[in-house]
């Protein structure tokens, strides 16, 4: 058996029921989709940072002290936007949700 099957057997054995968060994620490719969404978000953050820097440089605002001193602030501001876009594009929830039982 491969390692994924062993992990699934262990998770099911020690889980209170089969609908726990662990069994909801393992074996269905949701972890990989989440990781790929996160990596896409990081790539989008990088692209947004380059675009923002190009706009600031093109407009001649790069010489102002405000943009030199606050570049870290702009990166912190653009990071959640890139991550959010990555998860929105792939339609992956950032936090997993359990389906309501009917």
Whether 51 is in a domain gets the answer yes
pLDDT of residue 42: 92
pLDDT of residue 23: 47
pLDDT of residue 6: 62
Whether 58 is in a domain gets the answer yes
Q: What percent of the chain has pLDDT over 90?
A: 22
pLDDT of residue 7: 61
CA atoms of 8 and 26, how far apart (whole Å): 7
Whether 86 is in a domain gets the answer yes
Domain tally for the chain? 1
Domain that holds residue 36: 29-90
Whether 84 is in a domain gets the answer yes
Q: Tell if the pTM clears 0.85, that is, is over it.
A: no
- 35-56 pLDDT, tens digit each: 888 999 999 999 999 998 888 8
Whether 85 is in a domain gets the answer yes
- Residues with Cβ within 8 Å of 83's Cβ and at least 6 positions away in sequence, in order, are 38, 41, 42, 44, 45, 94
């Amino acid at each position: 058996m491969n390692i994924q099957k062993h992990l699934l057997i262990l998770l099911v054995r020690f889980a209170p029921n089969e609908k726990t968060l662990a069994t909801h994620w393992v074996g269905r490719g949701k972890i990989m989709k989440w990781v790929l969404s996160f990596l896409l978000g990081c790539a989008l953050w990088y692209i947004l940072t380059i675009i923002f820097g190009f706009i600031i440089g093109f407009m001649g605002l790069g010489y102002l002290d405000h943009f030199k001193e606050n570049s870290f602030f702009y990166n912190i501001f653009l990071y959640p936007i890139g991550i959010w876009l990555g998860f929105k594009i792939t339609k992956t929830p950032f936090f997993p949700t359990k389906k309501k039982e009917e």
